[in-house]
Amino acid sequence: MVDLCITIKSIPTTKGEIKVRIFSCESHINHALDMFVAEQKTFPMLEELRNEEKLSTVCSYCENSALYIVSSEN
């Protein structure tokens, strides 16, 4: 089932901008990209997590290990 709870982490940067990051597993990456575009009205950057981060990071939408970070630019 799709969890409707949206988990978006907003991280203030030193420049006063808000950097948004969504962690996603393989099966939720399309959903994560859609949610980012809907919320931010801009195109996201898609990055792969480093191996050590994969072990400690959980998908924002399920209990699986995250493989990707969807984040705002800069």
- Told to check if 22 binds Zn ion by CB under 5 A, we report no
User: Tokens representing 17?
Assistant: 């901008």
Alpha-helical runs (H) found in the chain: 29-40, 51-56
- Told to check if 35 binds Zn ion by CB under 5 A, we report no
CB of 19 closer than 8 Å to CB of 11: yes
Closest CA to 39 of 71, 65, 12: 71
Q: Which is nearer to Zn ion, 27 or 42 (CB)?
A: 27
Q: Which stretch binds Zn ion (CB under 5 A): 11-19, 24-32, 35-43, 47-55?
A: 24-32
Q: Which is nearer to Zn ion, 36 or 61 (CB)?
A: 61
Hey, is 4 helix, strand or coil?
Answer: coil
Q: Which is nearer to Zn ion, 33 or 62 (CB)?
A: 62
- Per CB under 5 A, which of residues 36..65 are in contact with Zn ion? 59, 61-62, 64
